[in-house]
Amino acid sequence: MITQMKKYTFLVFHRDYDRLLEQLRALGVVHITLKSEGMADDEALQAALTRQAELQRILRQGAPDQLLQERQAVADRIAATRAEAEQVAVWGEFLAERIAQLKQAGYTLRFFECPAKAFDPEWGIKVNEKDGKAYFVVVENSENSEHSDYSDFSELPAPEKSEKQWLQEVEHLNGLLVAADARIEAWQKSRIPELQAELDDLRRQIDWKRVNLSTDTLAEGSLKLLEGFCPIDQTQALNAMLDSEQVYYEATDPVKEDATPIQLRNNWFVRLFEPLTGMYGWPNYNEFDPTPILGPFFLLFFALCIGDAGYGLALTLVGYLIHKGKLKIEMFDGLGGIIMALGVGSTVIGYLMGGFFGIDIFRAEWVPAWLKAPMFNNLGVDGKIGEYDVMMVLAILIGVVHLILAMTIKAISYTRRDGFKATVSTWGWLLLIVGGLSTLILGMLFSLPTEVVKWTLIGIGAVSALGIFVFNTPGRNPLINIGAGLWDTYGMTTGLLGDVLSYIRLYALGLAGGMLGAAFNQLGTQVLGENPNVGTWIGFILIVTFGHVLNLLMACLGAFVHPLRLSFVEYFKNAGYEGSGKLYQPFKS
């Protein structure tokens, strides 16, 4: 949910202005309304922002550019030297000095490679044979400098050093790399606390400067006017401070035109999913916080895409280890809680879908009947509802519920913001869809008379049509309203059908993951054979482990991207969510 805010306007004598800012910063509850005018032209502010970006970059990369470049240069030399060692390894051990002495005596060594089967011992000395290629050396002088047979093959450059000599140079360079790392570590111990303190002080200066530039000057500079926002549960402390300092202020409710910041206040479970909301954009102050709906549905969608209880248990374990700091993965830092939640949800939904590391436990004879009773396959006949797979039907039903919820939230949100008259069309569509579906479902469940269902649908359709085609924009020409209603009908029917069908991807991803997991199990079983031994057991374990790890990684990628798309596109579009708000960031020390 979004915390209610109060808008404050402060009017203070210029001599008391700095003291007021100090007290506001010490209290730390007021989000100051910043203005863009004058920010780009203030040289001091721009210089501070430049220095701030530089400090952030240095602290993020852990060292200044010069030390990092020196280390990278040594690392590059090590990689190049290792490559040289690998290239000359085929020639064995030799002395470069002896090659130079032979050249002075009129003998030239030429180095060749050719297919091993094509090598002729009369050409020269075969030094090595590797990967189907023969490596040979030809000794030439003025009498045999040309030879058409071997000169057609690839001639390699004469090695400057032997593999042993190159590796000795690698050892020397490794010492330089250790020294470079030691210099970086020494720099970090001595300078990082200092630079962090400078950055913190610089941030305070930037905040102070921005607030000053956002202050209006009145009465020829004698008065200062400042605006800001405070959460309603913090206003008592703010008012007490302002009253004690005899500061003139006004506290009002924000209006639609105000750039009111938002502060989310959710329980521990919903807070896990707030980063997903932030990926799209924070809600405006007049919108609903989508996180309480986005979170549970994203969890459900993710679990349906994974579709395997064994993978869910693995994710839960990984999330727990990350949360406890026992597993360090930089990109998942701080996300252990949400990974655990997704893992638990995948375990439950995977069990209901009957999957466990690629095994269809619903059809497994060794699984007791009571354990199979809650599974989704029991909803249909042989896993089907009519001619369709039960999971496909469930995915579509979940999509319908998700979209109806989105349209309901849109109708309520728009009504609260613009009034009922401006949202008659939205309510008309909601009545038509929800009322029509509810009537049909109730008619089938309770065997209502056909006439009752028919006339109920006609009544719902008539009332909805008035809202959609006649009263969609009050005060406008009825003919224009009808034309707008027809266009809205075209967009709604085509768009809504496509949105509903998009939820089939939940079924498809879960099915694909289960089939791929089963394929790895089958492949491992084939390797194990009917008479397993130590070797076949090792092969079985390697294939099954590698296969399921790979399948889990691919499933997690799909289970993240596609549910996110269903939330950001299908749901947010039908909910009318804008997501252009900004977070509450109080002016504080």
Q: At what angle do helices 504-528 and 291-306 cross, to 10 degrees?
A: 30
Residues 6+ apart with CB under 8 A from 202: 48, 51, 52, 55
Tokens 């190049």 sit on residue = 80
Closest by CA to 34, choosing from 281, 259, 283, 257, is: 259
**How far out from the chain centre does Cα 217 lie?**
44
Contact 29, 586 (CB under 8 A): yes
Q: How far apart are CA 168 and CA 82, in angstroms?
A: 10
Tokens 């490559």 sit on residue = 83
Q: At what angle do helices 478-502 and 504-528 cross, to 10 degrees?
A: 10
Q: How far apart are CA 181 and CA 176, in angstroms?
A: 9
**How far out from the chain centre does Cα 320 lie?**
19
Question: Which residues are paired to 224 by β-bridges?
Answer: 12, 217
- Measured between alpha carbons, how far is residue 464 from residues 440, 461, 488, 510 in Å? 16, 5, 13, 38
Q: How far apart are CA 522 and CA 540, in angstroms?
A: 10
- Measured between alpha carbons, how far is residue 98 from residues 84, 217, 237, 571 in Å? 20, 87, 88, 77
Count the neighbouring beta carbons within 10 Å of the beta carbon of residue 63: 21
**How far out from the chain centre does Cα 8 lie?**
37
3-class state of residue 134 by DSSP = strand
Closest by CA to 471, choosing from 407, 416, 421, 434, is: 421
Q: How far apart are CA 87 and CA 10, in angstroms?
A: 75
Q: What pLDDT does 144 receive? A: 54
The list of the chain residues with pLDDT below 70 reads 142-149, 475
Q: At what angle do helices 291-306 and 336-353 cross, to 10 degrees?
A: 50
Q: How far apart are CA 464 and CA 574, in angstroms?
A: 18
Residues 6+ apart with CB under 8 A from 165: 96
- The string of DSSP codes covering 373-393 is TTSGGGGSBTTEETTEEHHHH
Q: Give me the amino acid identity at 295.
A: G
Closest by CA to 393, choosing from 537, 500, 521, is: 500
Q: Which two tokens stand for residue 459?
A: 């009544």
Closest by CA to 307, choosing from 269, 362, 270, is: 362
Q: How far apart are CA 56 and CA 200, in angstroms?
A: 11
Q: What pLDDT does 465 receive? A: 82
Q: Is the dihedral of CA 498, 500, 503, 508 positive or negative?
A: negative
Q: How far apart are CA 356 and CA 358, in angstroms?
A: 5
3-class state of residue 228 by DSSP = strand
Closest by CA to 359, choosing from 516, 532, 550, 505, is: 516
Q: What pLDDT does 430 receive? A: 84
Decide the pairing of beta strands 125-130 and 223-231: unpaired
Contact 432, 414 (CB under 8 A): no
Closest by CA to 302, choosing from 289, 288, 315, is: 315
Domains in the chain, start-ordered, CATH in brackets? 5-63+190-252 (3.30.70), 95-158 (no CATH), 394-502 (no CATH)
pTM of the model: 0.77
Contact 337, 272 (CB under 8 A): yes
Contact 479, 472 (CB under 8 A): no
Number of residues assigned to the chain: 589
Q: What pLDDT does 161 receive? A: 85
- The string of DSSP codes covering 92-116 is -S--HHHHHHHHHTT-EEEEEEEEG
